[in-house]
Each structure stands twice: as structure tokens, then as C-alpha cells.
A and B are shown apart, each in its own frame.
Chain A
Amino acid sequence: METRFAVKIHGLTRTFGDFTAVDHISLEIEKGRIFGFLGPNGAGKSTTIRMLCGLLLPTSGSGSVGGFDIISQSEEIKQTIGYMSQKFSLYDDLTVEENINFFSGIYSVPESKKNARKEWALAMADLRDRRTALTRTLPGGYKQRLALGCAILHEPQILFLDEPTSGVDPISRRNFWGLISEMARTGTSVFVTTHYMDEADYCDRLALIYRGKIVAEGTPSELRTNFMKRHVLEIEAEPLIGAMDALGKQGIETAVFGSLLHATVDDSEAAITRIQGILQDAGIGAGKISEIEPSLEDVFVTLIEVS
């Protein structure tokens, strides 16, 4: 069952009572790509993942994962995918090795491969010297890599990561994304949900889901350019908080970024003139005001505010 697409869904919908959690979403994700699925809490991210993993039936719509139908072939899908959630799904009171053995059993890793896969997972998680340690005693970054190792013991073609880096520090996070990029390079498809926008930048393509609907989709660069109708200005001013206050009183909301303010505006030229005027009237020294590239967070917050 060869296809270009790791995931293909059409008109996927799920309702709970009269609440529509996922509302007619359609997506095509090519093999070997890292696809980021972003959105605030309650937007429908987890419901979508559960349908794709064959854990929840859609109310309507269709889809396939690894070429298998999400409605009629959920057992085949479970053999094809790996799943890791924000809670890391490890047993805290088991040792590192016992956790690996447990997941090896669940994913029916063949007896002949078990030992080799275990050693591979221990090496990947950098836990060869700590195989008898209780999982509870491991730092967050190690737990995260162990959970990833356990989720891919059976060498799945498609990996689902549900907020995998919640509460993990920057160095561990960068290592983690290094591992994920490496997996994508060798052909694994990765579907990841996150609400940290600096992580979204590690993905090849992104979709933003809000209130059950996809409101934007594209590469990170496309989202920055095509979907951002408003502009972000960087303002040098001193004193900063005084400037923020003066602008706020005139209805221009700003955010502090170190020694600078950022403002999101509709028309850059007009806004720059207006801001200069307001600061001058307030007797605040204004330096350079320039337009900067919006961050993904700027893009998403703007999209959500207009939806």
C-alpha cells in the first residue's frame, strides 16, 4: 500500500454531544516530514491525534495513516505508529530497563530483536550507565528521551508526539529536536503538537487549529509572510514604561522586549508617524522605530484574534 503521504485526512469531524471538537479538517502530510500541529488548549489537537492513532472514531470524514484506513484498520495503524505524550507515559516506579521491556512487550517487538532494540534505546537516551535507576529519579530531559526511545522500539514509520517538550529545559529540548530531525532524515514521518512557537520553527510544515478548524497551513516562512496581515514594529524609547503607558492611553498596545517595545499595527508608515507624535507630546525620548519580521507567535496570536 504505497503512497506519498504518511497522513491524509479529508473532512475529518468529531462531535461530543452538541460540541464540535474537530470540524471538517483536511490535511496531507508527506512522508519523512516533520509536521507541527499548533493551537491553544481545547482547540482540538488531542482529539485529532486520537482519531489518527485509531483510538477514537470520527463522527464523519475519512482518513488514512501509513496507508491504512483510520476507521476500518485501526489495528494495523497501531502497529505502524509510535506515540509519545506530554506526560511521557512512563512508569515512575519501574527501572529504566523495566520500562523498556514493558513497552517492548506492548509493541510486540520480536524476541530476536528485543535485546538489540533495548541497547539502542539505552544508548539513544544516554542511559546505559543508569539502566537500573528508578525512572522517578531521572531528570526531565532523560525521562523525555527514554519515553521517546520506548515509543519507537518497534521502529514505527510514523511518530506522533503530543506536546513532547512541556517542562523540559532548553539544552535537553535542542538535543531532543536533534534526534527528531535525524529520524525524519532517515524517513520517519513525525506529527507533533506543541504550543511553544519557538519549537514550531523546527517543523517543515505547520497547521494552526483553532476551535476545531484549521485556520492556517504552510511552511514556517510562508506563515510569516502570507498569513500575517499586520506588521510588527520595534520601538526604541526611554523611559520604556513611560512610553508604554503613553502609547497605551492612545490605544496602541505594546509589549516589552528587553530595552525595546513591540507593537502590532495595520499600516506601518502611518503608525510610525503617529507613535513618534505621541512620544514627542509625552516628552519621551524616542529612538529608531522599524518594522521587524513577525515571530510565529505574533502570526498565530493575530490569526486567533481575528478568527
Chain B
Amino acid sequence: MSADAAIKTSDLSKTFGSIRAVDRLNLAVNKGELYGLVGPDGAGKSTTMRMLAAIMDPTSGDGWIFGDSLVRDAGKISEKVGYMSQRFGLYEDLTVMENILFYADIFAVSSKERPARIERLLGFSNLTPFKNRLAGKLSGGMKQKLGLACALIHTPEVLILDEPTNGVDPVSRRDFWRILYDLLKDGVTIFVSTAYLDEAERCTRIGLMHRGRILVEDVPKKIRSSFDRTMLELWPEHPRFASDAVQHIPGVFSVSLYGDRLHVALERHAVRASVLDAVKKAGVEIKDVREILPSLEDVFISLVET
């Protein structure tokens, strides 16, 4: 691993009683990457992130943020890392400005640097007009941006975001990603977790996590094209009848309805003909059929289920 590794872990593990929440995790994230950790609830994502932010000690193994050890140099880690928890870590009974000042105190941002930094953070998060509003009175999207501003007050080199867009609407989510891209241009390394796979596609690299381990790790498109099943997208006249007709054909791995379309995963390409046959026999007209790249969700579910 080059000295450029922003985040590196070696057999990083955390157990709670008899549960192995994180199981010998080996990660390497380069400087300037936007790395997405994807997985279901309970996969170990939050535990991993807490250890990387040095707010939770590993049970065994270790990790390094630009060479500083999570176990031995925890003090240095908090200077290099900005961390935002799922609840954004805000004080709802403090105003926007008071929250930012609170974090500036925690991270000992000097009074000389404060005004310029605060102005910049309020500016990019579009929160300047709301600086005297109580955090508890902000919309979900604004809370999220304030949480991010607070995590950035000490200009960290690595930003760790735990499911930052939970419950935030699409327009605010897109704004949020724009801010992340700006940070990326400034050379910040971003490590983000999400349970939404369409969002994971926005990362430069992703790791699919399940039961404390990373099952597969790559660029999203490569993960999708490595799926060894053929995905057919049918656009039938009556999707639900068509779905009934193909469900039990040998070699059909799964059938999902997507509105007026049907996604059928085939174990072998040869099954394609019998699928189309079955739909026609059921008297359902097919308006269009094509082979598509599986979605990340398709890949993820097939990995977890096997």
C-alpha cells in the first residue's frame, strides 16, 4: 500500500458479547476517493465508521488514517477525521450558529480562523439566512447540511458520513452530493455508508458489506457487469400475468416487477427463449424485450442470498 492510503485497516474487528459486528475487515481507501460502504441494517457499517473515527476501540486488529493508528494515536485521528453520525450529532435546542461554534470549541479552532471558516461553511450549505434558527426547527435536508458543516469545521482530510441522506428528499439529496463533489475536488477523502443502492452508484468505489465482512469491492459498473446471470427486461402488456407465467420456469432465478416492466434473472442465457415462450402462451403481448445490466440491488441480493 502506498503512503497515499487515506484509510487502511488490517483485520479490524469488533465483537459485542458473542456477536462479531465487524469481522477481520481489510480496507484500503486512497486519498481523494469517494468510497461507499453499502449493506443492510446490522451489517456492521456504523461500527466500522465509529472505529475509523476513533470513537470506538477495536476488539482486535488495527487501522490507520494517513498512517496514524486507530489504537495507538486516537488523539491525532480526531484532528484528521470529520465524522457525521446518522442523527447528524446536532443540538436541537441550539441555533445553527451555536451548533457550529460548539463544534469549533470542541476541535479548538483558533479564534483567528473562525470567522472565515464559519462564513465559508454557512455559504456552501446555504444556511446563512437561517443562522439564528434553532436546529430542531430545520427541515431534514437543512439538518443534514448543518451536520456536515459541523463535521467540517476543523477542515479534516478524511470525512466519514454514516447514512447521511436517510429521510432526506431527492432535491436536498442532490444538493448534498454536489457539496460532496466540491469537497472531493478540494482533495478530501470521503467514506460514506448507505442502505440505498442507487445512491451507492454515485461513489467512485463501493464495498458491499454483510455480517461484518466485505463481500465484494469495486467500481459500481464492474460489480454490475461481473454478475454472472442474464437480466432480461420485459415490457409486457400485463406485467402481473407475465410475472405469474415465468415465475416457475426452471432456470429463472428471480422475477421482480418494476411498475410496467418485469426484470427476470436467468441462470443461463438459454432460458431466455422459454421465458418469452411462456409469456406468449399466457396470451400476454410483449411490447419490448432487452437484456440489461443488473442493478446493484440485484447483485447485492444475489450475493447475500447465496
Contact = CB atoms under 8 A, between A and B. Distances in A.
Contacts of A220: 258-261
B140 interface: yes
A196 B202 contact: no
Interface stretch (A9-17, A166-174, A268-276, A279-287): A166-174
Interface stretch (B12-20, B21-29, B36-44, B56-64): B36-44
How extensive is the interface on chain A, given as a class? 35 or more
A245 interface: yes
A300 B181 contact: no
Contact of A167 (B139, B167, B171, B304): B167
A9 B205 CA distance: 46
B260 to A, nearest CB: 5
B125 interface: no
B191 interface: no
A281 B120 CA distance: 31
Contacts of A177: 256-257
Interface stretch (B72-80, B88-96, B150-158, B192-200): B192-200
Interface string A148-178: 0000000000000000001111111010011
Contact of A256 (B39, B203, B259, B260): B203
B169 to A, nearest CB: 4
A202 B257 contact: yes
A27 interface: no
Given A195-B170, A258-B204, A201 B259 contact: yes
Nearest to A220: B259
Contacts of B39: 169
Nearest to B167: A166
B235 A169 contact: no
B170 A197 contact: yes
Contact of A301 (B40, B171, B219): B171
A203 B259 contact: yes
Contacts of B295: 198
A123 interface: no
A181 B247 CA distance: 14
B98 interface: no
A244 to B, nearest CB: 6
B109 interface: no
A36 B94 CA distance: 37
A240 B203 CA distance: 12
Contacts of A256: 34, 181, 184, 202-204
Given A139-B41, A171-B304, A258 B196 contact: no
Interface in B157-178: 166-167, 169-172, 174, 177-178
Nearest to B297: A170
A259 to B, nearest CB: 5
A294 interface: no
A119 interface: no
B300 A170 contact: yes
B133 interface: no
Interface string B269-306: 00000000000000000000000000101001100100
Contacts of B236: none
A125 B140 CA distance: 30
A294 B115 CA distance: 42
B32 interface: yes
A140 interface: yes
Instruction: Specify which of B39, B42, B141, B257 lies most central, judged by the most chain A CB atoms within 10 Å of its CB.
Output: B257
B170 A40 contact: yes
Contacts of A241: 32, 184-185
Nearest to B166: A167
A202 B40 contact: no
A88 B208 CA distance: 28
B259 A41 contact: no
B221 A172 contact: no
B198 A295 contact: yes
A169 B172 CA distance: 21
Contacts of B260: 204, 219-221
Nearest to A200: B259
Interface of B: 32, 34, 39-43, 139-141, 166-167, 169-172, 174, 177-178, 181, 184-185, 195-198, 201-206, 219-222, 235, 240, 243-244, 256-261, 295, 297, 300-301, 304
10 contacts: A169-B40, A181-B257, A198-B295, A198-B297, A205-B259, A259-B221, A295-B198, A297-B170, A297-B174, A301-B171
Given A167-B167, A172-B41, A255-B178, 5 more contacts: A172-B40, A185-B240, A195-B170, A220-B260, A221-B259
